[in-house]
Amino acid sequence: MASINTDLSDLRAFVAVAERGNFSAAALEIHLSQPALSRRIAKLEGALGVRLLERTTRRVDLTAFGRNFARRARELINEFDASLLGASELSARVAGEVTVACVPSAVTHFLPEVLRDFHARFPRILIRVVDQGASDGLSSVIRREADFGLNYIGAQEPEVEFRPVLTEPFVVACHHAHPLASRSELRWADLAGHDYISVARASGNRFVLDLALAGVPELPRPFCEVRHIMSVVSLVEAGVGIAVVPRLALPRQGHPLLTAVTLVDPAVTRTIGLVSRRGQLLSTAAHQFYNAILARGEDASLTG
């Protein structure tokens, strides 16, 4: 890089366009006017002696050389930024924005500690948490509306990279006064005859359960279906019935009204992971937050 007439600002400009696929969005991201951004791209292309971008009236595409160069440029920028972040006084001055599409249960019971610690280290980085259902959150990542996501679906999508963070069980949620609340564990067959609440078929959690329980006899028949898992928990808390929910959807311990009972025969789990577009290189701010979530997952224990 030192042998050509360019600098890190030109590389940042190019990477912003490459990742956003749009000059106006890239200009907004790096706080430049569109003419100034175009001049930096032209300067970089002139220094390299090759075209990096193919411009049309509607979008911007990378040339073959541009695709390879975008990855190398992002790696160089991240290495440079990471070298600066080693000093805490410099970390406090790092600015940026990160958008994360996150399933609501993880927002409530997983992200708070990560956000608190991350903000203490990087007080000038803005974290936008878009709390969405699983399908909408995955779509936000694929459509580039979020830098990455925290989700339990996406592992089978060819355009998505899914990196597991933690595995949690589904449990039986009961009101403390319910007859099943005193049991140490329950089988699916034990739920028959009790008022059972379920999430609707449009829910990602329902998809996980239906997939795991295909062919299992004696499943409870719901008398009520709602769309969101947190609404199910609210109904259980009100004593309306029992439900099978992910462990993260319930308080860890000490709730005055709710009890979580281990569910077996069969036990069902879901894996929450970081989802990103395959081949994507995250910005320095997004990369740091991604790693912070990953580290928190390694410390979490939700298997019981």
Residues 85 and 90: their CA atoms lie apart, in Å, by 6
Helix (H/G/I), strand (E/B), else coil: 295:
helix
CATH architecture of the domain with range 8-85: Orthogonal Bundle (1.10)
CATH number, span 167-269: 3.40.190.10
Q: What is the pLDDT of residue 88?
A: 52
Segment 184-205 mean pLDDT: 92
DSSP 90-144: HHTT-EEEEEEEE-HHHHHHTHHHHHHHHHHH-TEEEEEEEE--HHHHHHHHHTT
**Cβ–Cβ under 8 Å, residues 244 and 172:** yes
Domain residue limits, the chain: 8-85, 88-166+271-299, 167-269
Q: What is the pLDDT of residue 139?
A: 94
Residues 160 and 85: their CA atoms lie apart, in Å, by 28
In the DSSP assignment, the letter for residue 280 is -
287 backbone φψ class: left, alpha, beta (φ>0; ψ -120 to 50): alpha
User: Which of 82, 144, 136, 57 shows the shortest CA–CA distance to 287?
Assistant: 82
User: Which of 77, 47, 142, 22 shows the shortest CA–CA distance to 285?
Assistant: 77
The secondary structure of the chain in percent helix, strand, coil, rounded to multiples of 5, reads 45, 25, 35
Asked whether residue 155 carries a pLDDT value surpassing 80, the answer given is: yes
% of the chain residues with pLDDT over 90:
40
Segment 175-190 mean pLDDT: 95
In which band, very low, low, confident or very high, does the pLDDT at 172 lie, cut at 50, 70 and 90? Answer: very high
In which band, very low, low, confident or very high, does the pLDDT at 2 lie, cut at 50, 70 and 90? Answer: very low
Query: What would the two tokens of residue 211 be?
Result: 């997939």
Asked whether residue 302 carries a pLDDT value surpassing 50, the answer given is: no
Residues 233 and 219: their CA atoms lie apart, in Å, by 20
User: Which of 162, 176, 303 shows the shortest CA–CA distance to 246?
Assistant: 303
Residues 256 and 172: their CA atoms lie apart, in Å, by 16
Q: What is the pLDDT of residues 8-41, one digit of tens each?
A: 888 888 888 888 788 888 888 787 888 888 889 8
Q: What is the pLDDT of residues 290-299, one digit of tens each?
A: 989 988 876 6
- Asked if 8-85 and 88-166+271-299 have one fold, the answer is no
Residues 201 and 147: their CA atoms lie apart, in Å, by 28
Asked whether residue 125 carries a pLDDT value surpassing 50, the answer given is: yes
How far CA 143 is from CA of 19, 162, 232, 274, in Å, comes to 12, 16, 29, 16
Q: Which CATH class is domain 88-166+271-299?
A: alpha beta
Helix (H/G/I), strand (E/B), else coil: 32:
coil
